[in-house]
Amino acid sequence: MACTGARCGSSSWWSSSACAREQQVAKLVSKPVALNEHIFGLTDGIIGTVAFGSVYGADQFPHKGRFQEVLDEAMDMMASFSAEDFFPGTGGRLVDRLTGLLGRRERVFKDLDAFFELNIEQHLDPARPKPDNGGDLVDVLIGLWKEQHSTVRFTKDHVKAIILDTFIGAIDTSSVTMLWAMSELIRKPRILSKVQEEIRAMVGRNHFWRVKEDHVPNLTYLKMVVKETLRLHPPATLLVPRETMKPLEIGGYDVPAKTRILVNAWAIGRDPLSWGSDSEEFNPDRFHDSDIDFNGAHFQLLPFGAGRRICPGLAMGVMNVEFTFANLLYCFDWALLEGMPPKNVSMEEAGALTFHRMAPLILVPTPQGDSSANMHFTSLASNYVLN
């Protein structure tokens, strides 16, 4: 499994999806846009390319739209109340059947299974052209399935499960994080200008008119913005549940063995004892000269969890957010609709598994630089075709 993680984080996968990123960014030019839809589509395209290869974004892949609908329904279903979670066995299953949840769950995962089965068959097709850069995620997983060097048997069902985890864990959380980051920045023009100045000074006007992956490690203030966004708006407000193995005491409370523990990452990130009296304010400068990070070593910031159950896609998710968000800030100047003051931007939350914006974020993007450069960028992006 280590090789799977290594492949997910390799730069070759990110460069192979550059065409999809540039096509999506080009759609944002010079008109008011609902950023929610564009960022979700952009993230979906990147993760889809990494998982399934370039065919995911092509017209000859007719199942993509249906897959997105089923994936959305699966997210809603997993966040719904299940009696079987609280009353394991026949009784809980009967309640879920009477409420319709069991039938809905079976239908959704049957649809997902059919989608994954089709994609695996496409990858196993002998007539399929040899993929570049060693292939996509499905190629790697099929290799593990066929090799069977491990003492633990790796089956086709494992391939499907990892693909599902990749989509559910990466698309929604990455897009939600970028939307909250833009929401906070548009309400703080000074901070927005500061992070854009850093990106544009670092990147300059290169031939590609975009941020490249090797620029990202040097974008210190951008990383502070992302870190502050994850502090206030963790993608999963409650971390993966834990269970106590023996009786213990937490904060003065006696907790019996076999107790399910839910860690509230949202509340931890806003705790005044850790973050001061301005803990509710968006202020990336609080991380200046600070070694606090979200890698699980600092318990006041746990958007991805910690320990052995820390999010396995942490590195890939953070790169997805930083790289994509840097390009949006580099390529465009962003403004609210005419006459709308920044303080009126709604920050109301909604959701279950993830807390997203209740209202769409409507912004007006204007390409940065002179008109000839804008035309060059738009032409460059529109000429890319996935095949």
Look up the pTM and report it.
0.76
The closest alpha carbon to 386, from 137, 61, 54, belongs to 54
Report pLDDT digits (tens) over 96-116.
899 888 888 888 888 888 888
pLDDT average, residue stretch 340-368: 84
Is residue 311 annotated as involved in ligand binding? yes
Query: Mean pLDDT, the chain, as a whole number?
Result: 78
pLDDT at 301: 95
How many CB atoms neighbour CB 211 within 10 A? 25
Contact 313, 166 (CB under 8 A): yes
Q: Is the pLDDT of residue 201 over 60?
A: yes
Contact 243/259 with Cβ under 8 angstroms?
A: yes
CA–CA separation, 160 vs 157, rounded Å?
5
For residue 270, what pLDDT is reported?
96
Q: pLDDT for 215-226, tens place per residue?
A: 999 999 999 999
Provide the 10 A C-beta neighbour count for residue 143.
Answer: 15
Alpha helical stretches, state H, 9-100: 11-16, 18-26, 35-52, 64-78, 83-86, 90-99
pLDDT of residue 220: 96
Per-residue pLDDT at 48: 67
What distances in angstroms separate CA 335 from CA 4, 152, 329, 345, 370, one per listed residue?
A: 40, 53, 12, 12, 18
For residue 350, the cross-strand partners are 356
For residues 334 and 240, the model is more confident at 334
Q: What is the pLDDT of residue 160?
A: 86
Of the listed ranges 31-45, 183-197, 293-307, 355-369, the least confidently predicted one is 31-45
* pLDDT band of 374, cuts 50, 70, 90: very low
Nearest of 134, 123, 203 to residue 160 by alpha carbon = 123
List C-alpha distances in Å: 222 to 90, 305, 344: 51, 22, 24
Residue 60 clears pLDDT 60, i.e. is over it: no
Give 127-159 pLDDT, tens digit per residue: 877 766 667 778 888 888 887 666 667 888 888
Tokens of 338: 């005419």
Q: What's the pLDDT score for residue 44?
A: 67
Return the biggest CA–CA distance within the chain. 68
Provide the pLDDT confidence category of residue 373 given band limits of 50, 70 and 90. Answer: very low
Write the DSSP symbol of residue 136.
Answer: -
CA-to-CA dists, residue 74 to 172, 173, 240, angstroms: 12, 15, 17
Q: How confident is the model at residue 262 (pLDDT cuts 50, 70, 90)?
A: confident
Task: Compute the CA torsion angle 294, 299, 305, 309 (nearest 10 deg).
Answer: 120
Tens digits of per-residue pLDDT, 29-56?
445 566 776 676 667 666 666 666 655 5
pLDDT tens digits along 64-84: 556 667 777 777 777 777 888
Q: Under DSSP, is residue 204 helix (H, G, I), strand (E, B) or coil?
A: coil
The answer to whether 35 and 184 are in contact (CB under 8 A) is: no
pLDDT tier, 118 (very low <50, low <70, confident <90, very high otherwise): confident
Does residue 7 surpass a pLDDT of 70?
no
pLDDT at position 197: 96
Please name the residue that has the structure tokens 């206030």: 232
pLDDT, position 30: 45
Buried b or exposed e, range 1-29, using 16+ CB within 10 angstroms: eeeeeebbeeeebbebbbbbbbbbbbebb
* Exposure letters 326-340 (e unless 16+ CB within 10 A, then b): bbbbbbbebebeeee
How far apart CA 179 and CA 40 sit, in angstroms, is: 9
37 vs 193, more confident? 193
pLDDT tens readout for residues 270-281: 999 999 999 999
**Rounded distance between C-alpha atoms, residue 268 and residue 260, angstroms:** 18
Give the confidence band of 169 by pLDDT, cuts at 50, 70, 90. low
CA dihedral defined by 352, 259, 100, 117, rounded to 10 degrees? 80
Distance of alpha carbon 357 from alpha carbon 180, whole angstroms: 7
Domains of the chain and any CATH numbers: 25-53+131-381 (1.10.630.10)
| Per-residue pLDDT, 31 | 52
Would you place residue 208 in the very low, low, confident or very high pLDDT band (cuts 50, 70, 90)?
Answer: low
